[in-house]
Amino acid sequence: MKLSVWTYEGPPHVGALRVATAMTGLHYVLHAPQGDTYADLLFTMIERRDHRPPVTYTTFQARDLGADTANLFRTACEAAYDRFQPQAMIVGASCTAELIQDDPGGMAETMGMPIPIIPLELPSYQRKENFGADETFFQLVRRLAAPMARTDTITANLIGPTALGFRHRDDIPEVTALLEGMGITVNVCAPYGASPADLTRLGAAHFNVLMYPETGEAACRWMERELGQPFTTTVPIGVGATRDFVAEVARITGLEARLDESRLRLPWYSASVDSTYLTGKRVFIFGDGTHVAAAARIARDEMGFEVVGLGCYNREMARKIRALGKEFGVDALISDDHLDVEAAIAEAAPELILGTQMERHTGKRLGIPCAVISAPMHVQDFPARYSPQMGLEGANVIFDTWVHPLVMGLEEHLLTMFREDFEFHDDAGPSHHGGAHVPRPAAAADPAAAEEGGPAPRPSAAPRDISGQKTDAGDVIWLSEAERELRKIPFFVRGKAKRNTEAFAHERGLGEISVDTLYEAKAHYAR
Amino acid sequence: MTDQSPTPPAIGCSNAPVLKERGQHEVFCGLTGIIWLHRKMQDAFFLVVGSRTCAHLLQSAAGVMIFAEPRFGTAILEEGDLAGLADAQDELEREVDRLLARRSDIRQLFLVGSCPSEVIKLDLSRAAERLSARHAPKVRVLNYSGSGIETTFTEGEDACLAAMVPALPATDDRQLMMVGALPDVAEDQALDLLARIGINNVAVLPARHADAQVGVGPNTSFALTQPFLGGTHSALERRGARHVPAPFPFGEEGTTAWLRAVARDFGIDQSRVDAVIDAPRARARKAVAKAAETLSGKKLFFFPDSQMEIPLARFLTRECGMQAVEVGTPYIHKALVTPDMELLAQGPIIAEGQDVEKQLDRCRAARPDLTVCGLGLANPLEAEGMTTKWAIELVFTPVHFYEQAGDLAGLFSRPLHRRDRLKLEAAE
């Protein structure tokens, strides 16, 4: 047993639902108890889909347990077929039905349906959502795709985009445009938007574009083996990766590597002097393996940040992310416990977090700006506007998204210069973010008043830290002068300065921190 | 003040035939109740013993609330736990020890059963006993089931409260027990009204803190504020307490009838009650009248969700002038909702249980003006051109008693209002 209050991934049948919902003409019959239908609202609310997911739940109840559940499954299958007339069905069990061992696959196969029935084995107590999506799509492809003559012109399949994917909707046209720029057309994009009939045409493409390894790799490997289709290994997120992707496609197809960069703005934006202040900004990156790997490269090579920590929650990508950590000189964090991630972020004291919905909240708790780069995400990350991550427009989107949460350059300098300023102080926060202006506490503006009345209360208390992590240097006492000096340091580096100074004092066995200690530590760490 | 309540219908729904359906249920399981119960009981922790699905459900349903340090979590069963059940007990104890060590403010711990734990017959009551003994007297450990195979949505609260009843201390005091987790603001209003009509000795179940002395005994009368408390009702009767049947306190009429029933039980003079409630009644009527302008004459269709559907249909038809087409509810506790059913005029289909596809067919055929349904159905129905009100909000929003009557009506008029406002199809 493992205590969990939040999970990065749902159970594997949610992965299967993501595939079924992405497709048309496919129906999923899920042997599941009443209540498991909650998953519908992920699609109708978070992704704002205007149709119910194509799923029939058997919704068995306690009184059905025993022989009746098998019968319930059979009637649910028949009713779903009669009502929806799908081209194919997938059948499987949720975690509870896995325990009652009705064997949905076996039962469905004996029902003599006139359409392909694909049974799914999704081990709910070992695997998670991404595995569920990958495995479901693989089973569909294995059953429906077959070798066939290639198309006359060079075509590719787009593999991996699903429902509830992070920006999958907009990555598809972006990658389609990259291919079209080289004279390649898309044969089938799947599972997103494909029907079972489309899957039978997969073999006609000359190669596969593996857009998201998490949800399409098993199918791509199978197609490589059985259909002789090579697949791309570069995920085109970021300028460098997009260029590499184009080069890889050229290698596979023998076509000339062509990339129209006329609308690409990231390189100039990043080179312009306005961005100089971004240099060496400390960034922590967490999410699914694919997006983390892409983000790390962009952060270092295209934004000039310093990557101070990275990791992923999906064990399937652990090896790759560990290797990446080595390359960046940091220990990669492979964990699906958000408290571990929070502790690692607090430890690294970054100036920017790139992560998931959870890291956004962690950032809020720790007072560190954050941008979302990966699932899981909430409704605001299914935007109405066009906002891909892949390709050249994706790079433009990423530049804007990542820079936005940071304090702007001039503002940062002014905060350092006028850190005692009564209007323009760090408690006010970045000027372009929500929230009312917080006047500087009178106590801090007027040291004399501070002596009398004590410091004014902080505008709002941060939520209590539940990570259980305490700095071991916490027993060092800050002399009041030094504490005042510490508060003059801009808030976005103050945490780091505090931690460094405490560690410095701790190492030297100092019980107290004076202003001198503070500046000695600063000099020490500046090196 | 004259009584302006509409007269009761000649024939109510209490003896109307009920359409009972089996099939796919588009509902939450009882685990969802944790989301509001943990806010109400401020020193309680709800530990679900279940699968990743349970954890995922809670985080999906809790939305952003999960991040404000929730007092609930899931002990996720792993492969190893399924193989040897003896170990599962030890594992659970280890997880609980760790949890209680980290959260020293926890006084009540609920072990909440789920579908997986029920199916493998993990004995949570024994675990609760052992853990109670181990952590007594500081922490009391109780258990109940919020599994989907046994409970639908709000029945989770019922199961939780029913599990608390046997552990309540005995008392012979003449007292009222108000049962059902209400938002603090509504609870305080109710206590104030009760005090002013002369009922001061009121226990509230669930209490906000574990050390609130809530006793029960033969001189306890209890009034329910929620229609889904069938199990708690039985548990309280087993402790010798007496139920005060009344319509549920939704809207002006419901609140008035509820207060009068309680007052009658305590032998309080009608005129004393009227003197207290005249002003808030008038306020409630005025507030409802605004929304009723939009709602009057509109056709209403309820998908089953919370068991609040019958009392709400009563409020919407009688006080807002709506016309109910179908009132679907997951379960009908006759003993509890009969007073509401007597007030609800015969006509609508009363449906218990669900076969969601068939119900959708009926809904599409009826073309109601407003459909009350869950979030899995709301957007798809909107896309078909129907106007919906998502039902879960009715559980999470203060809607009980006089001062909330206008807000309650407003929840239903807002979607209609919005549809009128939006001019999205005026393209050319």
Q: Do B72 and A5 touch (CB under 8 A)?
A: yes
DSSP string, B20-52: EE-S-----BGGGGHHHHHHHSTTEEEEEEE-H
A465-473 CB contacts, 8 Å cutoff, 24+ apart: A465/A365, A466/A339, A466/B69, A466/B102, A467/A339, A467/A342, A467/A343, A467/A346, A468/A339, A468/A343, A468/B102, A469/A342, A469/A343, A469/A346, A469/A347, A471/A499, A471/A502, A472/A506, A473/A499, A473/A502, A473/A503, A473/A505, A473/A506
| Integer Cα distance of A250 and A253 in angstroms | 5
- Terminal-residue alpha carbon distance, chain B: 55
Residue written as tokens 């009392």? B311
pLDDT, one tens digit per residue, over A151-184 is: 999 999 999 999 999 999 999 999 999 999 999 9
When the pLDDT of each residue in chain B is averaged and rounded to a whole number, the result is 93
Give the whole-number percent of chain A exceeding pLDDT 90.
67
DSSP string, B338-374: HHHHHHSBS-SEEEEE--HHHHHHHHHHH--SEEEE-
pLDDT, one tens digit per residue, over A406-459 is: 876 566 666 666 666 656 555 655 655 555 555 555 444 444 433 333 333 333
Q: Do B383 and A1 touch (CB under 8 A)?
A: no
Report the residue from A44, A64, A463 with minimal CB separation from B379. Answer: A44
Query: Taking Cα atoms as reference points, which of A317, A298, A519 lies closest to residue A399?
Result: A298
pLDDT computed for residue A469 by the predictor: 40
**Which residues of chain A have a CB within 8 Å of the CB of B385?**
none
Query: CA of A19, closest CA in chain B: separation in Å?
Result: 17
Give the residue on A whose Cα is nearest the Cα of B121: A99
Query: CA of B309, closest CA in chain A: separation in Å?
Result: 18
Q: Do B53 and A44 touch (CB under 8 A)?
A: no
Q: Is the pTM of this model over 0.95?
A: no
Q: Do B52 and A95 touch (CB under 8 A)?
A: yes
pLDDT, one tens digit per residue, over B109-143 is: 999 999 999 999 999 999 999 999 999 889 999 99
Q: Do A463 and B61 touch (CB under 8 A)?
A: no
B64 falls in which pLDDT band (50, 70, 90)?
low
Active site residues of A: 274
Size of chain B in residues = 428
| Integer Cα distance of B77 and B46 in angstroms | 16
pLDDT computed for residue A484 by the predictor: 86
pLDDT, one tens digit per residue, over B242-277 is: 999 999 999 999 999 999 999 999 999 999 999 999
List the single best residue of A45, A56, A57, A59 to mutate versus B (max B Cβ within 10 A).
Answer: A59
| Integer Cα distance of A523 and B86 in angstroms | 59
pLDDT computed for residue B427 by the predictor: 54
Residue A54 CB contacts under 8 Å (≥ 6 apart), including other chains: A20, A21, A23, A26, A27, A28, A84, A86
The yes-or-no verdict on residue A195 having pLDDT over 70 is yes
Four-residue CA torsion sign, A247, A253, A254, A255? negative
Report the residue from B25, B82, B118 with minimal CB separation from A34. Answer: B25
Strand partners, A372: A355
pLDDT computed for residue A523 by the predictor: 84
Q: Do B56 and A11 touch (CB under 8 A)?
A: yes
> CB distance from B303 to chain A under 8 Å?
no
pLDDT computed for residue B309 by the predictor: 97
pLDDT, one tens digit per residue, over B153-169 is: 999 999 999 999 999 99
> CB distance from B77 to chain A under 8 Å?
yes
> CB distance from A470 to chain B under 8 Å?
no
Query: CA of A300, closest CA in chain B: separation in Å?
Result: 30
Report the residue from B57, B66, B95 with minimal CB separation from A1. Answer: B95
pLDDT, one tens digit per residue, over B28-37 is: 999 999 999 9
The yes-or-no verdict on residue A460 having pLDDT over 60 is no
**Which residues of chain B have a CB within 8 Å of the CB of A96?**
51, 53, 115-116, 119, 148-149
Among A381-385, A402-406, A474-478, the range scoring the smallest mean pLDDT is A474-478
Q: Which helix (H) or strand (E) holds B421?
A: helix B405-421
pLDDT, one tens digit per residue, over B163-199 is: 999 999 999 999 999 999 999 999 999 999 999 999 9
List the single best residue of B56, B87, B375 to mutate versus A (max A Cβ within 10 A).
Answer: B56
Q: Do A124 and B52 touch (CB under 8 A)?
A: yes
When the pLDDT of each residue in chain A is averaged and rounded to a whole number, the result is 88
> CB distance from B374 to chain A under 8 Å?
yes
pLDDT computed for residue A495 by the predictor: 77
> CB distance from B88 to chain A under 8 Å?
yes
> CB distance from A384 to chain B under 8 Å?
no
pLDDT computed for residue A257 by the predictor: 97
Higher pLDDT, A222 or A524: A222
Strand partners, B140: B108
The yes-or-no verdict on residue A101 having pLDDT over 90 is no
pLDDT, one tens digit per residue, over B340-349 is: 999 999 999 9
Give the residue on B whose Cα is nearest the Cα of A43: B376
* Averaged pLDDT for residues B305-327: 97
Higher pLDDT, A495 or B293: B293
pLDDT, one tens digit per residue, over A393-412 is: 999 999 999 999 887 656 66
H helix intervals, A379-441: 391-403, 409-417
Q: Chain A, 217-236: which have a CB under 8 Å from a chain B CB?
A: none
On whether ipTM exceeds 0.90, the answer is yes
pLDDT, one tens digit per residue, over A328-348 is: 999 999 999 998 999 999 999
Query: CA of A358, closest CA in chain B: separation in Å?
Result: 8
Query: CA of A311, closest CA in chain B: separation in Å?
Result: 21
> CB distance from B342 to chain A under 8 Å?
no
pLDDT computed for residue A271 by the predictor: 97
Q: Do B74 and A466 touch (CB under 8 A)?
A: no
Query: Taking Cα atoms as reference points, which of A281, A284, A300 lies closest to residue A344?
Result: A284
Cα-based distances in Å from B278 to A485, B186, B261, B404, B409: 63, 18, 16, 16, 20
* Averaged pLDDT for residues B379-389: 96
Report the residue from B72, B149, B382 with minimal CB separation from A61. Answer: B149
pLDDT, one tens digit per residue, over A67-84 is: 788 889 999 999 999 999
pLDDT, one tens digit per residue, over A347-380 is: 999 999 999 999 999 988 888 889 999 999 999 9
The yes-or-no verdict on residue A60 having pLDDT over 60 is yes
pLDDT computed for residue A438 by the predictor: 56
List the single best residue of B53, B54, B354, B360 to mutate versus A (max A Cβ within 10 A).
Answer: B53
Query: CA of A60, closest CA in chain B: separation in Å?
Result: 6
Q: Chain A, 324-353: which have a CB under 8 Å from a chain B CB?
A: none
* Averaged pLDDT for residues B355-360: 96
* Averaged pLDDT for residues A27-35: 95
**Which residues of chain B have a CB within 8 Å of the CB of A93?**
none
Query: CA of B60, closest CA in chain A: separation in Å?
Result: 7
| Integer Cα distance of B388 and B115 in angstroms | 30
* Averaged pLDDT for residues A228-244: 98
| Integer Cα distance of A376 and A287 in angstroms | 8
**Which residues of chain A have a CB within 8 Å of the CB of B99?**
3
> CB distance from B51 to chain A under 8 Å?
yes
